[in-house]
Structure 1
């Protein structure tokens, strides 16, 4: 089955729900149209000119980059600038560019979870602001004879999605009791008379952004003049998401030994540490990319060491003063490992959906910093 860019975007919602992006971020489709056909997707960290050039030369239809091409509103598109050049090249070759940035950082099994698990952390919790998945349980009641009709209407919407499953619901039978008011025109019963009737309770998960449209659609096929329904927020540790992670090692390790172990696991040329090399480490905080903004979260986390990238001089001094530790593996190294992982995950989902799309990881990218 031929896929469109919109189909790939829908699949990406599984791995990086758009609502998890920070307010300042710019995620989603940066260049292209939702109805462009897609046969080949390439995953990259940055939509840099060389990455986009290579993709266009290989007839890639969609580039999914972690970092956005466009952060701030453009006042002009000058083809002589790097961003303008990329836009021009992408449009001429009909190659879409899509970004999954802080939403991929925050998502369950996103970049922070991937690196935390790879370095051996367990019992993971959120380091930054905890953001519950924007899901709600919608519950409503329908006469027995209208159960299937209203259920069909529910599944015509986006309701009932749990992971890779759709049309998920739960139903049970009960007795509804109500007394219609004098100004009503009840489907069952009479005004001023207490009425009892057999009803089916139907419940399904609905995303916050879809609640109004789902309720409006279900009401069209519901026989009652006033459909009774309940909405419950679903926020648990299991679906809580957010920037950064806190995890535990199986056993205590000294800071320097742990840093060298990370260097080996992630196949890095170098790592930087701050703090006493023999500092005992059991709890570790992690934030991929630029982690300075979560330094205060680290200090209150109970962790002994903070692993991130782009940490600065004053971060190191503050950690020294607190008798804690830092491990700076660099921005690129902390995030690039998601490229292969995401390519494999997206390919699997598209195959299961019977889309004829090839997903590949970009092999060109290297850390822009070189250690001499």
Structure 2
């Protein structure tokens, strides 16, 4: 059985929820072209979508491309099929290939782009370089017959509810009496049609993070014995985890800037890096921001980073960072290609776990526009 397009994207948005996207209306995420109302036999994961990547998608029989960088960034006034991008759109449409974008939401997500880069570089015990938002928490209250309270609690906790700091399976439970009268057309778990029923019930309260709210509610409804479940869910002023751009943390071992630059080059598989700072400087704490993150060097410095690894650093930013006392290593924007294998591995495991036969392929096309001489 092959997964439907909407199912694939539900999984993708578990990895990179759309609400995490950087608060900038210029970011373009989500479905950009095509339809998800179809079976997906093959998914191609790419950093960018250009003519060569579309050729690859056609060659492998892809129905969907999941990419990091948008193919439509500004509003289109027309599509000319003899223009470079017009050809790309035309080929995608003619071959019924949908394109879905996960950009800054994938950057910011826990277990996403910046965590992959930090892990590769030996940056440990990380926090965001710049916090963009705090996770919204909700209180879920559900009324359950006492005989099924354990079953429903287990379903809630299994779906991820009940986490407070480093504690899990947190809930509050009160015994009471529920009343209800089944009307015509009902099939009650307890009681009879037209007769007022009293039932010994438990009021279960627990905490639910925004990102898994729908998943938790679905698990609760599935485990609950009642035909109509009485429950409340409401937002709390209390906030949860911090989300943000980049990662900063301690290096797995002290090293010089020169040694760390070599490591960046090796682990991110790039042909060269540009370095700002004293090559003999000892590094203990490092930050990384995928893509173009040079403007965040003050935030990285404020977090105690000795060095920031990021792409597309311009001349004046390099000078300012040097005088501010923070080193820079620029591996280029294309270092984000790490997402191809990581997203493909994650999606493949998710599909196999749910017994789908949909194939997931990491693009083998390099979309690096620069040549190094």
For 1:128, the equivalent position in structure 2 comes to 130
Counterparts of residues 72-151 of structure 1 (less than 5 Å) = 72-141=74-143, 144=146
**Is residue 45–residue 67 contact of structure 1 (8 Å, CA) maintained in 2?**
yes
For 2:210, the equivalent position in structure 1 comes to 207
Question: Quick one: distance in 1 between partners of 2:315 and 2:141?
Answer: 53
Question: Quick one: distance in 1 between partners of 2:333 and 2:314?
Answer: 12
Counterparts of residues 1-372 of structure 1 (less than 5 Å) = 1-22=1-22, 23-24=24-25, 25-141=27-143, 144=146, 161-162=159-160, 173-176=173-176, 199-203=201-205, 205=208, 207=210, 221-222=228-229, 231-232=235-236, 235-237=239-241, 240-333=242-335, 335-372=336-373
Which moves more between the two structures, 22-31 or 43-52?
22-31
Question: Quick one: distance in 1 between partners of 2:59 and 2:199?
Answer: 66
For 1:193, the equivalent position in structure 2 comes to none
Secondary structure in 2 matching 1:123: strand
Q: Alpha carbons of 1:4 and 1:229: their partners in 2 closer, same or farther (altered >3 Å)? A: closer
**Is residue 20–residue 107 contact of structure 1 (8 Å, CA) maintained in 2?**
yes
Residue deviations 1:68-115, cap 9 Å, x none? 111222222222233322222111111111111111100111110011
Deviation at 1:54, TM superposition (A): 2.1
**Is residue 307–residue 326 contact of structure 2 (8 Å, CA) maintained in 1?**
yes
Question: Quick one: distance in 2 between partners of 1:81 and 1:355?
Answer: 38
Q: Structure 2 unaligned segments of length 5 or more: list them.
A: 162-167, 182-197
Deviation at 1:37, TM superposition (A): 1.5
Q: Alpha carbons of 1:210 and 1:220: their partners in 2 closer, same or farther (altered >3 Å)? A: farther
Deviation at 1:366, TM superposition (A): 4.1
Question: Quick one: distance in 2 between partners of 1:121 and 1:29?
Answer: 33
Secondary structure in 2 matching 1:327: strand
For 2:195, the equivalent position in structure 1 comes to none
Question: Quick one: distance in 1 between partners of 2:261 and 2:32?
Answer: 37
Secondary structure in 2 matching 1:103: helix
Q: Alpha carbons of 1:172 and 1:319: their partners in 2 closer, same or farther (altered >3 Å)? A: closer
Residue deviations 1:324-352, cap 9 Å, x none? 2110010002x001111111111111011
For 2:190, the equivalent position in structure 1 comes to none
Deviation at 1:250, TM superposition (A): 2.9
Question: Quick one: distance in 2 between partners of 1:113 and 1:79?
Answer: 39
TM-score by length of 2: 0.80
**Is residue 171–residue 201 contact of structure 1 (8 Å, CA) maintained in 2?**
no
Secondary structure in 1 matching 2:131: coil
Q: Alpha carbons of 1:279 and 1:147: their partners in 2 closer, same or farther (altered >3 Å)? A: closer
Residue deviations 1:305-364, cap 9 Å, x none? 11100011111111221222110010002x001111111111111011111101011101
Deviation at 1:292, TM superposition (A): 2.3
Deviation at 1:171, TM superposition (A): 6.8
Question: Quick one: distance in 2 between partners of 1:108 and 1:144?
Answer: 37
Residue deviations 1:275-300, cap 9 Å, x none? 11122211111100011231221231
**Is residue 2–residue 357 contact of structure 2 (8 Å, CA) maintained in 1?**
yes
**Is residue 254–residue 280 contact of structure 1 (8 Å, CA) maintained in 2?**
yes
Which moves more between the two structures, 314-323 or 95-104?
314-323
**Is residue 49–residue 69 contact of structure 2 (8 Å, CA) maintained in 1?**
yes
**Is residue 136–residue 235 contact of structure 2 (8 Å, CA) maintained in 1?**
no
Which moves more between the two structures, 135-144 or 83-92?
135-144
Q: Alpha carbons of 1:229 and 1:94: their partners in 2 closer, same or farther (altered >3 Å)? A: closer
Q: What is the alpha-carbon root mean square deviation over aligned residues?
A: 3.5
